[in-house]
Copies of this chain bind each other. A is one copy, B any other.
Amino acid sequence: MSNSLGEIAQVIDAELVGDPERLVTGVATLKNANTSELTFLANPRYTKYLKTTAAAAVVLSPENVDDCPVNSLVSNNPYLAYVKAVRYLNPEDTFSPGIHPTASIEDTATIHQSAYIGPNCFIGKNVKIAEQVYVGPGCVIKEDVSIGAATRLVANVTICHKVVIGQRGFFHPGVVVGSDGFGIANDSGSWLKIPQLGSVTVLDDVEIGANSAVDRGALENTVIEEGVKIDNLVQIGHNVIIGAHSAIAGCTAVAGSVTIGKRCMIGGQSAITGHITIADDVIITGLSGVTNSIKKAGMYSGAMTSTDNLTWRKNMVRFRHLDEMARKLVELEEQIQIIKKRSEKS
């Protein structure tokens, strides 16, 4: 399949400088694109590859047009324009509806005739699967779950009882939604499990990455609002609320009862302590430990960044005595004041 540059320019709302009839068959990097491929330039780091690109066309910003040896698709946001082109050239795979003969479906489940249920899946009692839903091989959907239209579960996904999932969701292999929250109470030295009576509500257009887990609430629901994007191996504790259009990168832990605002971005391997609130439009850079509520939009950080081992060792030893250092500093300051006064007197 191929598309003309004229058609693409219209779709991505870019100005074409070049041949509208030229056809492209796919996308590639600026460095490696061949003469039938579309590419883009958004990061100045790659400008060096522009002059020698063999691409059919380059999506780029106005200031790079003159240096482009091939067709240009000019946009003030070339990365976004390129992404729109990629999406246009690579629509989601279609699938044939139907229920694989090895799937086990409870009688009371309702599955829309345009949905697909793959091999070795289990669909529990009273489950509702809407139109165009794709449930890949090995998925387990327990009783009373509802899955909205056009949502995709790639493979080996587990959705626990009573979870409600919106439309156009995308759940990668190994995802678990609705596992019990970590609710335990100490009773004379041993732990009593607290029944987790809430569920999980996942709104529309949510994507959750491979092997991530979202716990069900203790009393009320854990809520993932619309458009939230969660990467791989992320833990979302019980009763967390994640505001619309927030994005959370891999290996991050969000402890129970945290409320995250809308449009937040949380870097990978971060951790957010239980029961705190993060305002809208907060950016937390990777590896940060957030232990207090954040009340204002802005960027926050807390990583210990690495150095050569010897420097780190020496600095860490000092860190363990940082309070003493600070006290010593105050002491020296006082002594100097005394000396200065004395010398002024003399």
Which A residues have a C-beta under 8 Å from some C-beta of B? 26-29, 32, 79-80, 83-84, 86-87, 90, 92, 100, 102, 104, 118-122, 136-138, 140, 142, 154-156, 158, 160, 170, 172-174, 176, 179-180, 182, 184-187, 189-195, 197, 205, 207, 209-213, 215, 219-220, 227, 229, 231-233, 235, 237, 245, 247, 249-253, 255, 263, 268-269, 271, 273, 283-292, 298-309, 311-323, 325-326, 328-329, 332-333, 335-336, 339-340, 342-343, 346
Is A318 a contact partner of B307 (Cβ separation < 8 A)? no
**Chain B nearest CB, measured from A293 CB (Å):** 12
List the B side residues contacting A26 at CB < 8 Å. 197
List the B side residues contacting A140 at CB < 8 Å. 136-138, 155-156, 173
Is B290 a contact partner of A306 (Cβ separation < 8 A)? yes
List the B side residues contacting A237 at CB < 8 Å. 250
Q: Can you show 27 pairs from A to B with CB atoms below 8 A apart?
A: A80-B187, A80-B192, A84-B192, A87-B194, A104-B137, A122-B155, A160-B173, A174-B176, A176-B210, A189-B263, A190-B205, A191-B227, A209-B213, A233-B235, A269-B269, A287-B289, A290-B305, A291-B303, A300-B312, A301-B308, A301-B312, A303-B304, A314-B323, A318-B325, A325-B325, A332-B332, A336-B336
CA–CA, A322 to B312, complex, Å?
9
Is B300 a contact partner of A302 (Cβ separation < 8 A)? no
CA–CA, A306 to B282, complex, Å?
13
Is B289 a contact partner of A306 (Cβ separation < 8 A)? yes
Query: Of the candidates B197, B232, B251, B328, which one forms a contact with A86 in the assembled complex, judged by CB atoms under 8 Å apart?
Result: B197
Query: Of the candidates B172, B304, B305, which one forms a contact with A176 in the assembled complex, judged by CB atoms under 8 Å apart?
Result: B172
**CB nearest neighbor in B for A82:** B185
Given contacts A251-B271, A284-B306, 12 further A-B contacts (CB under 8 A): A83-B192, A174-B176, A179-B210, A213-B233, A231-B235, A237-B250, A250-B253, A303-B316, A315-B322, A318-B326, A332-B336, A335-B340
CA–CA, A180 to B290, complex, Å?
28
